[in-house]
Structure 1
Amino acid sequence: MHELTTTPATGQDSFLTLDHITDATPMGGKLLPSGAGATFQVWAPAAREVRVLWDYRKSAGNWLHHRQARLVAIANGRRAGFVPGLKAGDRYMLHVTGPVGGTEGLKRDPYARDLTETPMWPECQCLLVDPAAFPWHDQGWRPPAFHELIIYQLHVGTWYIPPGRRHGTFLDVVAKLPYLKALGITAIQPLPISEFPTQFSLGYNNVDPFSPETDYGVHDDDPALNDYLTVVNARLHDAAPGLAPYQRKDITGTASQFRILVDMCHVYRIAVLMDVVYNHAGGDFGDRSIYFFDRKPYGNHNDSLYFTDRGWAGGLVYAYWNNDVTQYLIDNAVMFLTECHCDGFRYDEVSVIRNEGGEHGWRFCQWLTDTCRYVKPEAIQIAEHWPVDGAVVEPAATGGAGFDAASLRGAVAQAASGRDAVVDMAAVAAQLRSPAVRDHWRAVQAIEDHDLVYQGRKPRIARLADGADARSWYARSRSRVALGLVLTAAGIPHLFMGQEFLEDKPWHDDPESADRIGWSGLDTDRHMSDFLRYTRELIALRRSLPALTASGIHIFHVHNANRVLAFHRWVPDVGEDVVIVASLAETTWHDYTLGFPGAGDWREVFNADVYDHWVNPWVTGNGSGVHADGAPLHGLPASARITIPANGIVVFAR
């Protein structure tokens, strides 16, 4: 075994030692708990040599390394070594020499937990991170049960941009946590937050999955960072006055700021679900990424180590047949659950993994879900799979992929179709009970998301309802019905940013787009503030009535001509009956006879019509409730005559 080099950037034959290297040594650069230094382990089977470069210092405007040494080949294409004296925040890079005929040059650590802000991508360098040093405040936190989830999807870069700032950051989301708490959602689902190569992005083209996007951090040399620290600590004090405030060192670096977001969400009793992309990576990889990591000759994508020659969304599909590749992706998920305290996942386009990876892709899904369930049993795992397939949410032990839930979208959006559109009430009703999956709670119900309402695709719900005037009564009322169905249906409701206050502009990931979220409208647009109140109080109703989060659902009345549907929700083996009635008719139905699950008094506990010019002085409804004393009807033991507001939704409970 050779001694560690002590000469600056020369000593081309010097090797690192294997001190502290064991079978349990993790991949990538990892600081030792003792503070003795860092271990490094990389997978580069075709490389002739891999060096670690460290001791970076700034000279003439450039960051230059002053020390380097070779990693030692150990087994299975891996190389490892130990560098004493390294600490959190230190910069490092890898230098890989490929096989004969290949290339050589710098590479980022595929497992790097953070990247530098300067130099920026693609010249950025890796930063050592000590996850154990972060001062978590979420001791005792447990995420909501799956059936209690109400998911709010947001894009960090564009959701909330303070005046004078170029784009949104993790800390800007923290600043708005009181808003999300008041809204009543129980989980946020940020669009993918891993490092991507473009100036702005949805996040699905990431190339460094273990590192958070540096643009989502407030840089260390930004004078505003101290102001952000003040705001973050104010939010912490508001929610939990007895907890210790963050210090300046705790907020340094993008990785730490992401942890602050997760930590603060938990303080506010909000779960964090990561949107992860394991079906492909890239677009633009650059020369220093995992693409051709062991530096075989460029050309054939199948020689790129982590990828195949199959393309998807402008990037390349992972090589699921290779266990080292799938372990890399599984390690990424485990990092989010353990080091970052995240509460679950939304897996992007699992159908691509299945279609392009075949049996290897399916087996990867099983290993992934089984591992995450072992590491954190309470973490929910949501699969985006088109078309919806019940096998995706079946246990791996019985041949399924092992995901907990699957995304549904589309049919309920018909509830907001334009004035002259033909609405298939049966199709709307079918989605309310999620026929494609075995258990109703396994369906994630969405009528708006990042795909559907992205600029140039489908209109947002208010604009879908009335293309000429997204603030008309028609647009407002239809939007209330559509969202009302999502929040009263069986399954997990999913809201997209701005949907809660009638945002009608298409969204774009460009923070300078004219179609940014219109927060100012909450102060100037009565219809927006009314709709936000509607959303908040409907979410509160969902959380207060056990039947609305349970699995029991029976759609007992669907009438296309009348444009009315009604369904019964209950807690199996308990009761807690609730009846929801929705109408897409442009006129009010009076004395409409409907079946009820039992005779006697039923309270009208919610009426969407109240929220039009809240409190609506012309509200149409059933007063305090109705008395079900009529004959059996619609397969139920009693019936009552009720009033259904035009384009309305009413909820009855015992």
Structure 2
Amino acid sequence: MNSSPIHSRATKPRTPKHKRPHTSIHPGVGAIPHKEGTSFRVWAPHAETVAVIGSFNEWEERGVDLISEEGGFWSVLVPEAKEGDHYKFRISRDGQTLIKVDPRARLIDPETGNGVIYKDSFDWGDEAWETPSLNEAVIYELHVGTFGGRKNGDTGTFREVIRRLPYLKDLGVNVIELMPPTEYPGETSWGYNPCHPFAVEATYGGPDELKFLIREAHRNGIAVLLDVVYNHFGPDNLDLWQFDGWSEDGMGGIYFYNDWRAETPWGHTRPDYGREEVRQYLRDNALMWIEEFHADGLRMDAVSYIRRSKGHDHHESVDLPEGWQVLQWINKDLKLHSHRTLSIAEDLGSNEALTAWVDDGGAGFDSQWDASFVHPLRAVLEGPDDDARDPGAMISAIIPSFAGDVFRRVIYSESHDEVANGKQRLVSEIDPENPASVWAQRRSLQAAGVVLTSPGVPMIFQGQEFLEDGWFDDHEALHWEKARLFRGIRLAYRDLIGLRRNLSGLTKGLTGQYVDVFHRNHEGKVLAWHRWHEGGPRDSTVIVLNLSHVSHDFYELVLPAEGEWKVRFNADWSGYSPDFGDADLTVIEARREETGYPAVTGGLQLPPYALVILSQD
């Protein structure tokens, strides 16, 4: 993490003008172009001198001096500097000279590593867009570098994601969540090692291409969430490290804690949440994605390492109250921008305070990833032994583990973390020898059905809708040929998503707050639950799950109401897979019977590993 060298490319010569510099009258931190030149402002409280060098002065070593301001900031207006020019800061302290990239650079040139003066002039057109409510949202998590496919090994781009927006629209998802799009070192990455937090990854296409993606997604009825990383930066190729030359005990300097609090699993680069300028840096970054890029919200990575020193699950972990305050400030300001702006935490501790209102002492997130859903779900479905499958464990996934709004949790069977780090795609865990086997198809489809019918905000990970196998690797593109090979499974996902969003108007209960697991048969491995919003026809929705390879010719259930219950989804349909049995399921008649107490009973056929969804007209 040394200071970065100067890199230059051939530029058109311009005669430098050595006029006496003066502070910039323009607000804002970073390099901001105006008609009379570019305003440069940077925070370097321990610097003795700061200058800006770049293509606008032919990388003259002297550069243009910035003038000291209050609070450790330095600024200058450079008339010669314009949009597209490359630049860096030259910082002097205690006899050392550091060449640093602007901490707020919006664009980094991939060939030279220089900051590039960027002007926000993107044409959003006549955008009329409203972010979907959480109870109607279905999230699709994707990694830009692998989602678009690789030609000759090249990293995927925003443009290739745009090309596949019609595919996502047809699938039915209405929210995409991009794994971090910020600049990272090297050619490939998951994105969770940001080295320039304000810059969009150039190999993906840079800031304008991200804006283009968001605009086109909105035109296709799809919201965009961006993954952000505030628990650490880097740690590699990190110009923020000892930015102005000051540090304590060899630690990171002004942007980081300089004691034991700096330590994270990813390096000693935890931001100093107690320092006003660092808090402002993080808050401004969060608001940039919403205000400038028109993103619909943020997913915040590993929040437990923002609020606690070693995460929530470590016995030596201690609270970082200033980290909690940063979360509150960011979330409160996101809501001030728009009450529909979404903020989602990855904390994995089922901490109700994360989704409590800021005014009530909570962190102010709208929802949080729920590990208490995915882990029991996968544990029930992965193993080969039906006798070991516990419907009770599945209930612990279906019923939210914390009180309140059920959509304050995001539920999933696959995510980037759950299909890597020693774990694989669900189909590969179910059948490592043949991930496309009928059993892998059936049980992975059951998992999708549970995700899309349980209370919570459902999320799927790129490719699971066409049985992508193995583990997630940022060097390997999605195998899009499987989307054609397993188009039936993809159709099943589309049908499930349509029911979850109530697109046919027949399953409103799946968007509602209420759930009742009304049937559990441990010996027979059958589970059934009821979802509803207000109740009644086209609202009350019943889901029946057979967790065994043993079929039931006539399985009797006590249903919520008498009359005809129509099958809205049958996972055994041969249209989803030629390997399925095509059980004849259309209508179940529920009759009221006097059996000591009033009961409405009905029966249906349950194929092996069945997933059946019912509602009334």
TM normalised by structure 1 equals 0.84
Q: SS at 1:410's partner residue? A: helix
Q: Return the letter of the residue paired with 2:30.
A: G
Which segments of structure 1 move beyond 4 Å, counting only runs of 4 or more? 6-11, 611-617, 632-637
Following superposition, the deviation at residue 578 of structure 1 comes to 0.7
Question: Paired residue for 1:303?
Answer: 253
Contact 2:30 2:103 in 1 (8 A): yes
Cα deviation 1:128-172 (Å, max 9, x = unaligned): 2221x2111361111111111111111111112253351211111
Q: CA–CA distance in 1 between the matches of 2:473 and 2:322?
A: 35
1:519 pairs with 475, 480, 493, which one? Answer: 480
Following superposition, the deviation at residue 261 of structure 1 comes to 1.1
1:321 is the counterpart of 2:274: yes
Question: Paired residue for 2:496?
Answer: 538
1:417 pairs with 382, 398, 403, which one? Answer: 382
Q: CA–CA distance in 2 between the matches of 1:448 and 1:18?
A: 52
Q: Residues 336 and 81 of structure 1: is their aligned pair in 2 closer, same or farther, counting only changes over 3 Å?
A: same
Following superposition, the deviation at residue 393 of structure 1 comes to 0.5
Give structure 1 stretches of 5+ with no counterpart: 1-5, 58-62, 218-253
Question: Paired residue for 1:42?
Answer: 42
Q: CA–CA distance in 1 between the matches of 2:108 and 2:151?
A: 27
2:548 pairs with 560, 585, 595, which one? Answer: 585
Question: Paired residue for 1:225?
Answer: none
How does 1:322-337 map onto structure 2 within 5 Å?
322-337=275-290
Question: Paired residue for 2:222?
Answer: 270
Q: SS at 2:589's partner residue? A: strand
1:195 is the counterpart of 2:183: yes
Q: CA–CA distance in 2 between the matches of 1:633 and 1:344?
A: 52
How does 1:96-175 map onto structure 2 within 5 Å?
96-98=91-93, 100=94, 103-119=96-112, 124-131=113-120, 133-137=121-125, 139-164=127-152, 166-175=154-163
1:72 is the counterpart of 2:67: yes
Contact 2:492 2:576 in 1 (8 A): no
Q: Return the letter of the residue paired with 1:445.
A: I
Q: CA–CA distance in 1 between the matches of 2:595 and 2:222?
A: 42
Q: CA–CA distance in 2 between the matches of 1:377 and 1:386?
A: 25
Q: Return the letter of the residue paired with 1:438.
A: G
1:652 pairs with 590, 614, 617, which one? Answer: 614
Contact 2:303 2:346 in 1 (8 A): yes
Q: Return the letter of the residue paired with 2:529.
A: F
Question: Paired residue for 1:358?
Answer: 320
Contact 2:431 2:439 in 1 (8 A): yes
Question: Paired residue for 2:473?
Answer: 508
How does 1:233-632 map onto structure 2 within 5 Å?
254-286=206-238, 289-296=239-246, 299-301=249-251, 303-309=253-259, 310-315=262-267, 316-356=269-309, 358-408=320-370, 409-420=374-385, 422-454=388-420, 457-511=422-476, 516-523=477-484, 525=485, 528-543=486-501, 544=503, 545-572=507-534, 576-611=539-574, 614=577, 618-622=581-585, 624-631=586-593
Cα deviation 1:25-81 (Å, max 9, x = unaligned): 11111123xx22222221111111111223447xxxxx7358822211111111122
Following superposition, the deviation at residue 401 of structure 1 comes to 0.7
Q: CA–CA distance in 1 between the matches of 2:444 and 2:200?
A: 35
Q: SS at 1:88's partner residue? A: coil
Following superposition, the deviation at residue 468 of structure 1 comes to 2.1
Contact 2:56 2:82 in 1 (8 A): no
Q: SS at 2:186's partner residue? A: coil
Following superposition, the deviation at residue 184 of structure 1 comes to 0.8
Q: Return the letter of the residue paired with 2:479.
A: G
Contact 1:534 1:611 in 2 (8 A): no
Q: CA–CA distance in 1 between the matches of 2:54 and 2:576?
A: 63
Q: Residues 629 and 492 of structure 1: is their aligned pair in 2 closer, same or farther, counting only changes over 3 Å?
A: same
Q: CA–CA distance in 2 between the matches of 1:328 and 1:570?
A: 44
Q: CA–CA distance in 1 between the matches of 2:357 and 2:580?
A: 52
Q: CA–CA distance in 2 between the matches of 1:15 and 1:566?
A: 77
Following superposition, the deviation at residue 304 of structure 1 comes to 4.3
Following superposition, the deviation at residue 301 of structure 1 comes to 1.3
Q: Residues 258 and 632 of structure 1: is their aligned pair in 2 closer, same or farther, counting only changes over 3 Å?
A: farther
Q: Return the letter of the residue paired with 1:323.
A: E
Following superposition, the deviation at residue 415 of structure 1 comes to 4.3
Contact 1:10 1:67 in 2 (8 A): no
Question: Paired residue for 1:205?
Answer: 193
Q: Residues 15 and 611 of structure 1: is their aligned pair in 2 closer, same or farther, counting only changes over 3 Å?
A: farther
Q: SS at 2:417's partner residue? A: coil
Contact 2:146 2:155 in 1 (8 A): yes
C-alpha root-mean-square deviation of aligned residues, in Å? 2.5
Cα deviation 1:422-456 (Å, max 9, x = unaligned): 223222222222122521111100111111111x5
1:16 is the counterpart of 2:46: no
Q: CA–CA distance in 2 between the matches of 1:86 and 1:463?
A: 55
Contact 1:16 1:81 in 2 (8 A): yes
Q: SS at 1:414's partner residue? A: helix
Give structure 2 stretches of 5+ with no counterpart: 1-12, 310-318
Contact 1:631 1:637 in 2 (8 A): yes
1:180 pairs with 135, 157, 168, which one? Answer: 168
Q: Return the letter of the residue paired with 1:387.
A: G
Q: Residues 495 and 127 of structure 1: is their aligned pair in 2 closer, same or farther, counting only changes over 3 Å?
A: same
Bigger CA drift: 133-142 or 396-405?
Answer: 133-142
Q: CA–CA distance in 1 between the matches of 2:279 and 2:211?
A: 25
Q: CA–CA distance in 1 between the matches of 2:215 and 2:436?
A: 38
Following superposition, the deviation at residue 565 of structure 1 comes to 1.1
Following superposition, the deviation at residue 579 of structure 1 comes to 0.5
Q: CA–CA distance in 1 between the matches of 2:547 and 2:474?
A: 33
1:81 is the counterpart of 2:76: yes
Q: CA–CA distance in 2 between the matches of 1:542 and 1:403?
A: 23
Contact 1:138 1:267 in 2 (8 A): no
Contact 1:93 1:107 in 2 (8 A): yes
Question: Paired residue for 1:29?
Answer: 31
Contact 2:583 2:607 in 1 (8 A): yes
Q: SS at 2:103's partner residue? A: coil
Q: SS at 2:280's partner residue? A: helix
Q: Return the letter of the residue paired with 1:68.
A: G
Q: SS at 2:146's partner residue? A: coil
Q: Return the letter of the residue paired with 1:262.
A: I
Q: CA–CA distance in 2 between the matches of 1:617 and 1:319?
A: 56
Following superposition, the deviation at residue 573 of structure 1 comes to 7.0
Question: Paired residue for 2:313?
Answer: none
Cα deviation 1:397-435 (Å, max 9, x = unaligned): 111111000101322223422221622322222222212
Q: Return the letter of the residue paired with 2:72.
A: G
Q: CA–CA distance in 2 between the matches of 1:635 and 1:304?
A: 71
